[in-house]
């Protein structure tokens, strides 16, 4: 005969192999705090529904508090034969207080219990993730402000395109992470729905005050369909999706850090504290932290695809497949938080090689577009101006010289529209200053963006 809490209708014990295969306690044990907090609130709700007496409720709550203390201190160990965290806690409660502990699960299923646990856990972790993103944004703003006038090449197709301010380049990542925060906040809103009180799938037979439960457990809304409530993992997918985009943004930034730290670029130097060496080559200083952040994006993507695949063909309501949601979710939570934290510290300790950036921006004909726009202002059609400047660039390549060293006489050989003032626009500084529209790289606009970002962070609830 089965010795499981659900074993009443079973004649045989669960095979040892099946028991090991179905157990989730090895990873869902991290839900113990939220499961205990939920159970304490549920005991109060059962008292309100007159399922428990006042004395029974107090006895259960004392028992749950003792279990909390024991698990936190490590005095209590989990039993793998009890499948999951819910069965472990229920068994521990019954051991401590006897048959009264058997009443706690009245009207509650592990289906609505685990759905509530995961939502409670994830709400906390979303808040923690938002705090990590904000801290990274603060480092980005500090770095941008400290290097407000540093000039560097801007790239398209990894080819030098136009000069930009380093601060402008950094603020692009600030904006990416700002959108990430919006996505995590949206995920939080959809996670902030209480499923407890839905039973296994059809609701509960007892007069549970679900609004009371929501208030006690910090939820702003309660679910409206019991079938959906116990089988919904959209909120977890929302988190994984937001995390995947954050990982993608971190990976893009990490890729630039890797490139910029090469001898070929020499734009930055990473701190020894965030670099590693070679076991063979003594001279090496490798950007392993940035590379790992870049690499871990694939891990986060994989977890998103895994949960989407797990959910894609499940009929209503709960199915055991959903047990597979936790490892993907937990791993992503751990991965994205560690990536945000270490990337922030790595970036904060990096040294900017201003001269190398400026030197790189002075080569590659980066003012070519500004030269074409000069002709446009002289009423030359843009396509014609584009062609003229293309020929000038070709001439410079053949002569091994930069645009800013061309004389007015040489420029006039390509177009008589060039005047004495043309040479003032051929420097990186003048090119940057001319990009004065909203969102442009002109110093004035960048300073405005930093001020706006500081204000946003000041009023940021995270």
268: left (phi over 0), alpha (psi -120 to 50) or beta: beta
**157 part of the active site:** yes
CB atoms within 10 A of CB 104: 26
Of 73, 157, 407, 459, which residue is the catalytic one?
157
Using an 8 Å Cβ cutoff, are 70 and 95 in contact?
no
Nearest to 196, CA basis, from 322, 5, 39, 85: 39
Going 251 to 257 to 263 to 267, the CA torsion angle's sign is positive
Q: What are phi and psi of 2, to 5 degrees?
A: -70, 145
**338 part of the active site:** no
Question: Within a 13 Å sphere around the CA of 350, how many CA atoms are in the beta-carbon half?
Answer: 31
Beta-carbon contacts of residue 175 (< 8 Å; ≥ 6 apart): none
The DSSP H or E segment spanning 268 is strand 268-269
Of 2, 149, 278, 399, which residue is the catalytic one?
278
Using an 8 Å Cβ cutoff, are 113 and 38 in contact?
yes
Using an 8 Å Cβ cutoff, are 303 and 332 in contact?
yes
CA distances (Å), origin 147, targets 168, 443, 450: 10, 11, 12
Nearest to 336, CA basis, from 372, 381, 303: 303
Tokens 């936190």: give the residue.
72
How many angstroms from the chain centroid is the CA of residue 392? 46
User: Which of the 8 DSSP states describes residue 72?
Assistant: H
Extended strands (E) in 302-407 = 351-352
Q: What is the spatial distance between Cα 185 and Cα 11, in angstroms, rounded to a whole number? A: 49
Q: What is the spatial distance between Cα 226 and Cα 195, in angstroms, rounded to a whole number? A: 7
Q: What is the spatial distance between Cα 257 and Cα 349, in angstroms, rounded to a whole number? A: 12
Q: Catalytic residue numbers? A: 157, 278
């Amino acid at each position: 005969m089965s010795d499981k809490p659900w074993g009443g209708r079973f004649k045989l014990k669960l095979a040892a192999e099946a028991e090991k295969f179905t157990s989730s306690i090895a990873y869902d044990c991290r839900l113990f705090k939220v499961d205990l907090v939920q159970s304490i609130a549920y005991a109060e709700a059962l008292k309100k529904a007159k399922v428990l007496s006042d004395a029974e409720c107090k006895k259960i709550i004392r028992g749950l508090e003792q279990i909390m203390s024991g698990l936190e201190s490590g005095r209590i160990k989990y039993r793998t034969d009890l499948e999951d965290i819910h069965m472990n806690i229920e068994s521990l409660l019954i051991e401590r207080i006897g048959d009264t502990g058997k009443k706690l699960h009245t009207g509650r299923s592990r289906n609505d219990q685990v759905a509530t646990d995961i939502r409670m856990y994830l709400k906390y972790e979303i808040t923690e993730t938002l705090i990590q993103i904000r801290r990274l944004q603060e480092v980005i703003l500090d770095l941008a402000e400290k290097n407000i006038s540093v000039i560097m090449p801007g790239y398209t197709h990894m080819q030098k395109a136009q000069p930009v301010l380093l601060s402008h380049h950094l603020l692009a990542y600030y904006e990416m992470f700002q959108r990430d925060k919006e996505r995590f906040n949206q995920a939080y809103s959809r996670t902030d729905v209480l499923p407890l009180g839905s039973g296994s799938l059809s609701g509960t037979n007892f007069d549970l005050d679900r609004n009371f439960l929501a208030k006690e457990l910090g939820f702003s809304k309660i679910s409206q369909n019991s079938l959906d409530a116990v089988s919904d993992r959209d909120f977890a997918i929302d988190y994984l999706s937001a995390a995947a985009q954050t990982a993608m943004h971190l990976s893009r930034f990490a890729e630039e850090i890797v490139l910029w730290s090469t001898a070929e670029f020499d734009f930055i130097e990473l701190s020894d504290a965030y670099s590693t060496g070679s076991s063979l080559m003594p001279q090496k200083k490798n950007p392993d932290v940035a590379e790992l952040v870049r690499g871990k994006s694939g891990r986060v993507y994989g977890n998103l695809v895994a949960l989407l695949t797990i959910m894609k063909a499940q009929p209503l309501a709960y199915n055991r497949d959903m047990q597979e949601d936790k490892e993907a979710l937990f791993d992503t939570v751990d991965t994205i938080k560690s990536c945000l934290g270490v990337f922030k510290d790595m970036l904060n300790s990096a040294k900017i090689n201003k001269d190398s950036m400026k030197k790189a921006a002075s080569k590659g004909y980066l003012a070519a577009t500004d030269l074409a726009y000069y002709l446009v202002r002289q009423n030359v059609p843009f396509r014609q101006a584009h062609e003229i400047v293309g020929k000038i660039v070709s001439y410079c390549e053949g002569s091994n010289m930069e645009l800013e060293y061309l004389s007015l006489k040489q420029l006039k050989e390509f177009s008589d529209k060039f005047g004495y003032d043309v040479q003032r626009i051929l420097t990186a500084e003048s090119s940057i200053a001319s990009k004065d529209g909203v969102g442009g790289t002109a110093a004035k606009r960048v300073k405005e963006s930093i001020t706006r970002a500081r204000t946003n962070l000041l009023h940021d609830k995270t």
